[in-house]
């Protein structure tokens, strides 16, 4: 509300940058337990989106492109739950770099947030993989959903490290832009619309999201995927995670800091 009137137009980019920075300052000052629990929730929320994606792309007969697009829209559920429901997602928290670059967040606080959120995301996604495996959901469609989960996990295992790193960068550019656009919106519907297109694009294009992989690879392993191992899981997760940090922290947060918040003396 401005001068007693409700504002319906989107926040300007400079205003978004200031709002993202303020949010980051609040995030790094949360107690560890709260940060961890919110991280667990985000891991579970992203897992729900990944579950939905797996089901939607199974035997849908739409062809490669349309199937990936519809699956991406379904996967958007995960970030919608994180943003609207309230949770701490490692990939989205790459935007905290904007406050770090501006000198309002220390390196220690930034790394502490990332560490506990990452651990929480891992726990939440892993628990959901175990629950889905035990729930019988993978038997849907005469076992077709399990076959899809296995195929997804095996495909991720086959991605070379440099490609996984680059796909991680591209993924988190889109994820962080989705979160960035949410800061421009005034309504829940506006935030949801801001999320759907960037997220469906990264999924359709086959980019790599570290938290999604914390669910997709273990659930494929539990479904019986051959060639999926703990070593392979870690070998995928490390370059994807580093790529996610570079994509969101450098190519979105740092760039926008330079454009909108950097002071001449900096």
Tell me the pLDDT tens digit for each residue of 174-224. Answer: 999 999 999 999 899 999 999 999 999 999 999 999 999 999 999 999 999
Stretch 3-15: mean pLDDT: 73
Radius of gyration of the chain (CA): 18
Q: What pLDDT score was predicted for residue 41?
A: 98
**What separation in angstroms does the CA of 35 have from each of 13, 23, 83, 117, 121?**
28, 14, 15, 6, 10
CB 244 within 8 A of CB 171: yes
Local structure of 5: helix, strand or coil:
strand
Q: Indicate if the pLDDT at residue 2 is higher than 70.
A: no
Local structure of 205: helix, strand or coil:
coil
Sorting pLDDT into bands at 50, 70 and 90, what band is 76? very high
Stretch 244-254: mean pLDDT: 98
Q: What pLDDT score was predicted for residue 229?
A: 93
Start-to-end CA span in the chain (Å): 33
Report the alpha-carbon angle 248-250-253, nearest 5.
65
Q: Which residues pair with 5 in a beta bridge?
A: 2
Q: What pLDDT score was predicted for residue 263?
A: 83
The overall average pLDDT reported for the chain is 95
Q: What pLDDT score was predicted for residue 1?
A: 46
Stretch 89-112: mean pLDDT: 98
**What separation in angstroms does the CA of 20 have from each of 17, 252, 254?**
5, 11, 12
**What separation in angstroms does the CA of 194 have from each of 135, 189, 214, 231?**
33, 9, 24, 36
Q: Given the structure tokens 């989106």, which residue do they identify? A: 49
Stretch 59-86: mean pLDDT: 95
Q: What pLDDT score was predicted for residue 6?
A: 54
Sorting pLDDT into bands at 50, 70 and 90, what band is 7? low
Stretch 71-79: mean pLDDT: 98
Burial (Cβ within 10 Å: 0-12, 13-18, ≥19) of residue 119: middle
- CA nearest 198: which of 224, 172, 235, 223? 172
Q: Indicate if the pLDDT at residue 83 is higher than 70.
A: yes
Q: Indicate if the pLDDT at residue 13 is higher than 90.
A: yes
Q: Is the pTM higher than 0.85? A: yes
Q: Which domains does the chain have, with CATH numbers?
A: 32-259 (1.20.1080.10)
Q: What pLDDT score was predicted for residue 264?
A: 76
- Over pLDDT 70: what percentage of the chain? 96
């Amino acid at each position: 509300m401005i001068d007693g009137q409700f504002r319906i137009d989107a926040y300007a980019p400079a205003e978004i940058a200031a709002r993202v920075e303020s949010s980051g300052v609040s995030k790094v000052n949360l107690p560890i337990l709260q940060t961890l629990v919110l991280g667990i929730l985000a891991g579970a929320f992203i897992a729900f989106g990944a579950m939905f994606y797996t089901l939607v792309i199974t035997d849908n007969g739409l062809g490669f492109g349309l199937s990936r697009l519809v699956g991406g829209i379904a996967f958007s559920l995960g970030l919608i739950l994180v943003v609207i429901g309230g949770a701490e997602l490692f990939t989205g928290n790459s935007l905290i770099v904007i406050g770090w670059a501006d000198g309002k967040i220390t390196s220690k606080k930034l790394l502490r947030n990332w560490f506990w959120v990452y651990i929480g995301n891992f726990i939440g996604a892993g628990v959901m993989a175990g629950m889905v495996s035990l729930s019988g959901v993978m038997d849907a469609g005469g076992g077709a959903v399990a076959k899809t989960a296995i195929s997804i996990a095996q495909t991720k295992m086959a991605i070379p490290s440099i490609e996984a790193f680059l796909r991680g960068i591209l993924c988190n550019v889109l994820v962080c832009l989705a979160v960035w656009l949410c800061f421009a919106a005034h309504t829940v519907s506006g935030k949801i619309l801001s999320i759907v297109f960037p997220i469906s694009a990264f999924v359709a294009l086959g980019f790599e999201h570290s938290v999604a992989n914390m669910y997709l690879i273990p659930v494929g392993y539990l479904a019986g995927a051959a060639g999926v191992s703990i070593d392979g899981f870690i070998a995928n997760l490390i370059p994807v995670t580093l790529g996610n940090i570079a994509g969101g922290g450098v190519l979105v947060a740092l760039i926008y800091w330079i454009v909108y918040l950097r002071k001449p003396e900096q």
